Amino acid sequence: MDIRLLLISHASTAAMRAGRFPADDPLDARGLAEADAARARLLLADDATVRVSPARCAIDTAAALGLIATIDSNLADIDYGTWQGRRLADLANEAPEALTAWASDPQAAAHGGESFSQAIKRVGGWLDTLASQQPLPPSQHKLKEVIAVTHAAVIRAALVHVLGAAPEIFPRIDIAPLSMVELRNTRRGWVWRPA
């Protein structure tokens, strides 16, 4: 089945602006205003299947975009382990070697959470499952629209998986809040298209 998947990164949070790792933070007034403003510029199909990360910021973003979504744990952010809620600047002072290893080695998970490589495998598995859904007979063939409101790290993982790239490029992909990335699954497999 041909699938058009729109991955949308959640709106900014106070934690992001303070340089902290997320701790299931909701959107504050600024994030909600950003998501509300984005609603007009993001052209989203009314009949799309909508999935959302279980994180409060993603759920709040989906609601602000006017989307009725089903929670999908495969869209959860990276597990930051003991670094959850901690400021990046504090960790750079307290554990510079661990932070450097985590940022440069896709296998590293010094914080006791999920590594970049593990996130790529998890998100890639979700994409593969989505792509393997039963195709429609040719007479009923149409493009299936799926919208997923999630996290920058999940979108980066999806891109690495789709492109078949080395996990080492993970930190070189920058996904801003409320960015949208389009992936298409066709007979050729997943492809990345400008959104």
- The reported pLDDT for the residue numbered 45 is 82
pTM: 0.92
| Distance from C-alpha of 10 to C-alpha of 62, rounded to nearest angstrom | 8
Which class for 139: exposed (0-12), middle (13-18), buried (19 or more C-beta within 10 A)?
exposed
Residue-by-residue pLDDT tens, the chain, 195 positions: 689 999 999 999 999 999 999 999 999 999 999 999 999 888 888 889 999 999 999 999 999 999 999 999 999 999 999 999 999 999 999 999 999 999 899 999 878 999 999 999 999 999 999 988 755 555 555 678 999 999 999 999 999 999 999 999 998 999 999 999 999 998 888 999 876
- The reported pLDDT for the residue numbered 110 is 77
Task: Go through the domains of the chain in sequence order and give each one's CATH number.
Answer: 3-193 (3.40.50.1240)
